[in-house]
Structure 1
């Protein structure tokens, strides 16, 4: 006896969903456009009802999983469980994997994003109505990319055409307006998308386009007193500022953008725009040295540099390389209440041999900017300064109240002493217990935590310097004190920055004569560590292998010519170079009555001009400059410190 086969419309929705997936998935198992199942959907009303979005979220959940990369989502959700996060944007982490409807909504949203991006490319104009959530969606797609996301972005979203439309309509048009260009979340996401997608080279087809890009980046590169670069002001040693449960502060508001993700709406502050601008500017500096306003005769370089620059390498990276930045951006949103990173998040990321560049803006032009003359940012010249370091990490166990050290912030929390004995003290824990490798993963006793200390040496055109530093555990802010150099003792410096995706250490150098509560003489810095993804393969892997840098042209009276690099000539033979810096006491951050420092007169002028500049910025900028637009200078108890990051 024969049994009649059921009609297609009578099949269970699970079987119909399996048929639909077969129509969408290609031979390699990757999801294609959902339009491939259109013919099945419109076969009859019964089939449409069984496969319709609201009635079959499991189908669209499965389509998401074959169309987009999942590794980062799984890994990062597990990380949130491991560190026990309970902050806005992560409270739905359990529901993310339990509810197929969340995945279905995200699947639908990503294809809607695709349609909007194609419309922007077709009309050569950005859709401002949804720009915030679109940029966030793209940032997540790129930082979660392991292959499938790239195919979606490249083939379906026409990302590389869209990013040029965004560049023209946002960054380029804004640079033509009166006053300093804005620093907004939209700009921040835009420039980091350009860096992560390797499209920062776009917009340089003609000399005119190159000049436009240089013009728009210049204020961000050199007007340091106008733009934030840290998740919390650098003078805060221990974060968060408030105890759990504090509701006295409204949190971050001026630097956030709304986004939708897996069916929920959130607000979030992106990685800082200005750090992306520094990296972009240093890369264009290597590609277009003749058009960027650099004083070649006053700059220094590596003797073994060759034709490929230090920041020339760029490539797409697997999602795992983006995890630390995603983690920081997730748990460091608000200096008052965000829990921050585990203390050893960046352990092992600093030890080794580094090469980098510092950009020194003309000192008189910098003074003019501080005094309110904006045109100086476009007319002033600058020099580049090649530098190399060898850094050693020491992990200590420290009382929570002693985190950040007790010394001056201008000495990275260490004593006002710069000797070989001080270096040895750091290597042996600086009075605290040094943790062995097998102790790093163990829980700390009540009232204790871990901290990373840094020691080592630096070499530049000024000679050799000792290096002291530490990593602020909450957000991974690296703070490095560069001691007076030998033989040319041209001041002491404090460097501050973050390790970003791929290993770049991007931030600012600052003089230490100006008190930390005022605007000092500052400029961009960028470093790359030997062996990391972005380090050029032909460069040396250690200080011993390096032939060093070109050096300063010392005047006839033996004086060094100002704060920026001087004229170039070949450095002293390696056999004559000192093996380590000569011991001497360091400057104490402006506490001296007199000094033999050749920068003293200039530093005093910076201090005077800083008073006026701070008043100007406070009058035309909303929110406190303590960090991310919120009043981060106030915790549950009043705190004091710098007005500037």
Structure 2
């Protein structure tokens, strides 16, 4: 058959058959990268182009999106009305555009801040948000595409930790300036944790992670005020970003830089030869066998709380910032602390380099926690306990607590009413939080002795505050504040601080992270 006859035959092929051919070519192109064979097909003749081009056939590209990326999580979160064929097609083009930038290293290195213009910063912002949402929607395909095709690990390491990284973190440290965690830096730090490879993090990375993890006088463990139990976003929250997301311009809030910086920092400490082995659950371990059990790693609800925290006005009607039962059980992990005189110096405007010379100690600790809920269905007229002081984990001072196997009775001093909170039970509780209030109680031990734990969950963003009171010896009380990052298979991470310093002032602090005992 001559070339002209081939062209003539393609001219006569029905449109639906051409679509089947296009889909078959995309299947051949899988598992990684854009559908290059489809591009070759579009160049064969005008009639094929008129049927299969992006502008002429967005439903085709919507189908290709579903073949190439995970889509069921986005469908559940956004609804069918938002995930039209056109929206999926636009997202397909956007993802391959930003992944090509990651793959080429574009935007990760820039020795001169003046050469990085506003348009380039916006492109980096869009790319980081796109990658972040791909992770939060992952069921297996997205992570593979980012890690292997986009080579995002290398891009993130260069951007954050290279001496000439376009985040300019190391440049500011050299100038004895404490870097401000921009939206881009916060997103990149989260991605650094998701794709963590401790062996690839050099001195610059260690310095950066230590600074964000332990610089508590500069970097809060929450994007919202940690000492406020309110639902709204106070002025100190990061500004929202306007980015393209499934074909529309939408606004989102970046995650706090502290939790994922701590997870990476403690994992890095644990990977050094003289430390104990890591106990933290890695987000997506690179050495997980494709034939192994990846159910937990690729759970469609694993990053639901992280997704909810990006929304401008998170609320129960949109979905859970808290996954029921995510803290109930046995936890093990570490807490770190530094010499008190070194910490005191941090509060007197010393440069970040001072922190790098400070020695950090760490101890193992083990917690047993029980999660109790004031359910909306069983206590329709019962109001939650009043909000107590932040340094008392927001529990009313002197509140009596009597726990049994199915729940806990809470009673304020001088009040006759007893408020009943019900113990979480995986066989009876819904996944989505339908509670007016959540109280956590438990006990544990460390090298410093035994202790009890009690506290409360800020449902608007899932921020946990627990009071740790040692029951033997003069160790006193300490306040733990943080988030559960990922569930199932996640970590409880944040900072502890003393309870003597007023909550509006910087106290003596360290960081901690725990993972459920397997």
The TM-score bracket by the shorter chain reads: 0.7 to 0.9
| Aligned counterparts of 2:178 and 2:107: Cα–Cα separation in 1 | 31
Pick from 269, 273, 283 the counterpart of residue 253 of structure 2.
269
Given that 2:253 and 2:310 are in contact with CA atoms closer than 8 Å, whether structure 1 keeps it comes out as no
| Match for residue 326 of structure 1 among 306, 312, 318 | 306
What displacement does 1:122 show? 11
- Check 1:353–1:122 CA distance in 2 against 1; reply closer, same or farther (3 A cut): closer
The residue that corresponds to 2:195 in the other structure is: 197
Matched residue, 2:264: 280
Of 493, 502, 508, which aligns to 2:495? 508
Q: 1:8 aligns with which of 7, 10, 20?
A: 10
Residues 1:474 and 1:119: Cα distance change in structure 2 (over 3 Å): same
- Correspondence for 1:160 among 153, 156, 159: 153
**Residue pair 2:323, 2:432 contacting (<8 A) in 1 also:** no
- Alpha-carbon distance in structure 2 between the residues aligned to 1:400 and 1:224: 40
Q: Which residue of 2 aligns with 1:429?
A: 409
Where do 5+ consecutive residues of structure 1 fail to align? 78-92, 204-208, 242-248, 291-305, 532-645
What is the CA deviation profile of residues 314-365 of structure 1, one whole-angstrom value per residue up to 9, with x for unaligned ones?
A: 634215253323343244x35xx86687679332111221122221122112
Q: Which residue of 2 aligns with 1:409?
A: 390
Give the superposition deviation at 1:226: 0.8
| C-alpha distance in structure 1 between counterparts of 2:262 and 2:211, whole Å | 11
Normalising by structure 2, what TM-score? 0.80
Kindly indicate which of the two structures has a greater share of residues assigned to strand.
2
Instruction: For 2:321 and 2:309, locate their aligned partners in 1 and report how far apart those are by CA, in whole Å.
Output: 16
Once the two structures are superposed, residues 283-337 of structure 1 have per-residue CA deviations (whole angstroms, 9 ceiling, x without a partner) of 11122376xxxxxxxxxxxxxxx95232375634215253323343244x35xx8
Instruction: Give how far 1:137 is off.
Output: 1.0
Alpha-carbon distance in structure 2 between the residues aligned to 1:508 and 1:123 = 30
Please state how far the C-alpha of 1:478 moved relative to its aligned partner: 1.2
What residue in structure 1 maps to residue 331 of structure 2?
Answer: 354
Q: 2:510 matched to which residue of 1? A: 523
User: Does the 8 A contact of 1:391 with 1:457 survive in 2?
Assistant: yes
Q: Is the 8 A contact 2:22 2:38 kept in 1?
A: yes
In structure 2, the residue matched to 1:89 is none
CA contact (8 A) 1:412 1:480 kept: yes
Are residue 178 (structure 1) and residue 176 (structure 2) matched? yes
Structure 1 Cα separation of the partners of residues 482 and 237 of structure 2: 23
- Comparing 116-125 with 515-524, greater Cα deviation is found at 116-125
- Which has the greater radius of gyration? 1
Report deviation, 1:72: 1.9
Map Cα deviations across residues 255-275 of structure 1 (whole Å, 9 max, x no partner). 433421211122322221111
Using the alignment, how far apart are the partners of 1:366 and 1:400 within structure 2?
47
Is this contact kept in 1: 2:303–2:485, CA < 8 A?
A: no
The 1:455–1:119 alpha-carbon spacing in structure 2 relative to 1, beyond 3 Å, is closer
2:104 matched residue in structure 1:
119
Q: String of CA shifts for 1:93-112, please: whole Å, max 9, x gaps.
A: 44323x31111111111222
1:217-256 matched pairs, under 5 angstroms? 217-240=209-232, 254-256=238-240
State the aligned residue count.
473
Q: Which runs of 5+ in 2 are unaligned?
A: 1-5, 111-115, 286-296, 411-417
Distance (Å, rounded) in 2 between the aligned partners of 1:40 and 1:409 = 63
SS in 1 for 2:217: helix
Match of 2:449 among 463, 466, 473: 463
> Out of 135, 139, 143, which is 2:132 matched to?
139
The separation in 1 between residues aligned to 2:322 and 2:306, in whole angstroms, is 12
Q: When the two structures are superposed, what TM-score results if normalisation uses the length of structure 1?
A: 0.66
Q: Equivalent residue of 2:409, what SS? A: coil
* TM-fit CA distance, 1:417: 4.4
